[in-house]
Amino acid sequence: MYVHVLRIWLHKLFSECLQNLETSIWLFSLVHLNEGFHLRIFDLNFRTNFF
């Protein structure tokens, strides 16, 4: 009985951790892409203004 409850609890915990990890990775990549995008625009503006 206790082992079964523990297994369910561990499974729930594990799946929540995985979901959080996926969300973190997704958010991180979104922020990273956003930063790269802004840097690219800044680089283009800098080049067109400088040269």
* pTM for this entry: 0.45
User: Tell me: the pLDDT tens digits for 3-51?
Assistant: 889 899 989 988 998 888 888 888 887 777 777 676 676 777 777 766 5
3-state helix, strand, coil in the chain (%, to 5): 95, 0, 5
**What pLDDT, on the 0 to 100 scale, is given for residue 31?**
75
The whole-number pLDDT of residue 30 equals: 76
What is the model's pLDDT at position 12? 92
